[in-house]
Amino acid sequence: MAENDVLRVFHLDSARRPGGGQMQITLLLRELAAKRVENTLICPPQSPLASMELPPGVRQIHLPIRGEWDVWSVIRLRRLLRRYDPDILHAHDARAHTICLLARTTRQRLIVHRRVSFPVSRHFLTSWKYGENVDHFVAVCQAAKDQLGKVGVPDSKITVINSAVDERRFNDQKTSRESARAELGLIDNQEIVGTVSRLTREKRHDWLLETLAPMVRNRPGVRIVLIGSGPEESHIQGVANRLRIVDNVIFAGYREDVCRLLPAFDVFVLSSESEGYPISVAEAMAAGCAVVCTDSGGVREIVTSDKTGYLVPVEDSVAFRDRVMSLLDSPAKRRSLGETARQWVREKWGTKVMADSVLDLYTRMVRLRSRES
């Protein structure tokens, strides 16, 4: 690939609900658009990416992508590949992975993004999906890479590229603690323990409420703020009612302006039993929050315990609650952890670092193809 050549990349994402993966795609496209990259985004018409801020020049094409074996989407994608002749086909989720495998031509290099760290599903097609048909995998953390290795993907075909924090959202942030709290209906003397994530089973919000309930009963001024939406919301509300702490729990729903609300938190918590690379934790750290997290998936690649936050074994309720209480009792410790975390994130997880790593991988894959042809 010559230095002045334009690199053509197809990005495929099948999501119909907003999540961290879609935010990462927008950040990647923003950085790549400033380089010699021609980006085409392929997604369902209902994709949250359609309402997100995409940079000028990104071609957007809609495919239904109703499942991994959507034959019509495969046929149409193959036609698009022959028409536009991209160099790279980048699958950003599991359904896109399969669709790309079925549609690709010999012209493209296929890169698959793995954003989760739970075990890869094993079935009679596993060796096909994770074998030589994929040119390279991107794992968002070492834990995700380890899971790929367990199904036979060699280290040489996996690159760990951490998700990015959009530093512009925090550098330009003028929201004060008081205004953020007012927006959530809070008053300044209330102690706020908050989290940001989809309300799904593996995030264990039910366990979080059960763990913090004794503390809440002893400290009636505590409010637990849950920012996010998802299929477990009614179940979690039921848990809050059963524990009789419903007046202390605020369901804030899905928000696109999370960075404006993070200053309201005294302590940020993550209670997941399974994680990939939770960018919400890195964003909380970038906002200067003290964090307490379960030690799941790639969290330990973000949080250094006792230095940039606290890590607690999964489902260790006593240790988790004690860490939260100790931070509520010590504003000085919260400030110290939060400031150290802020500097750490901004130095390591900027969008340019992530995009440069992805672009380097694209370039290596295209040059490898050139040598082989």
pLDDT band at 349 (very low <50, low <70, confident <90, very high): confident
Q: Are strands 249-253 and 267-270 parallel, antiparallel or unpaired?
A: unpaired
User: What is the tens place of the pLDDT at every residue in 79-104?
Assistant: 999 999 999 999 999 999 999 999 99
**Choice among 46-60, 135-149, 164-178 with the minimum mean pLDDT:** 164-178
Task: Name the β-bridge partners of 159.
Answer: 138
Give me the percent of the chain exceeding a pLDDT of 90: 79
Which phi and psi angles does 222 have, rounded to 5°? -75, 135
User: What is the tens place of the pLDDT at every residue in 218-235?
Assistant: 999 999 999 999 999 999
pLDDT band at 175 (very low <50, low <70, confident <90, very high): low
Provide the pLDDT for residue 256: 82
Contact 304, 286 (CB under 8 A): no
CA within 13 Å, CB half, 3 = 0
**Choice among 54-68, 117-131, 164-178 with the minimum mean pLDDT:** 164-178
41 backbone φψ class: left, alpha, beta (φ>0; ψ -120 to 50): beta
Provide the pLDDT for residue 346: 80
User: What is the tens place of the pLDDT at every residue in 28-55?
Assistant: 999 999 998 999 999 999 999 988 888 9
Confidence check: pLDDT of 162 > 60: yes
For the full predicted model, state whether its pTM sits above 0.75. yes
Provide the pLDDT for residue 5: 81
Confidence check: pLDDT of 59 > 90: yes
Of 195, 90, 165, whose CA–CA distance to 341 is shortest? 165
Q: E strand or H helix at 368, and its extent?
A: helix 351-372
Alpha-carbon distance values, 274 to 53, 118, 354 (Å): 29, 6, 23
Higher pLDDT, 263 or 28: 28
Provide the pLDDT for residue 126: 95
Average pLDDT, stretch 152-159?
A: 97
Confidence check: pLDDT of 355 > 60: yes
List, in order, residues 6 or more apart from 192 with CB less than 8 Å away: 181, 186, 222, 223, 225, 264, 265, 266, 267
* Amino acid residing at 57: G
Provide the pLDDT for residue 238: 98
- Per-residue buried b or exposed e for 82-118, using 16+ beta carbons within 10 Å of the residue's own CB: eeeebbbbbbbbbbbbbbbbbbbeeebbbbbbbbbbe
Mean predicted lDDT score pLDDT of the chain: 93
Domains of the chain, start order: 7-164+350-372 (3.40.50.2000), 167-348 (3.40.50.2000)
pLDDT band at 180 (very low <50, low <70, confident <90, very high): confident
User: What is the tens place of the pLDDT at every residue in 3-19?
Assistant: 568 999 999 999 998 88
Confidence check: pLDDT of 146 > 70: yes
pLDDT band at 1 (very low <50, low <70, confident <90, very high): low
Contact 121, 148 (CB under 8 A): no
Average pLDDT, stretch 144-154?
A: 96
- Per-residue buried b or exposed e for 215-250, using 16+ beta carbons within 10 Å of the residue's own CB: bbeeeeebbbbbbbbbebbeebbebbeebebeebbb
Token representation of residue 156: 């040489």
Q: Quick count: other Cβ atoms within 10 Å of Cβ 176?
A: 11
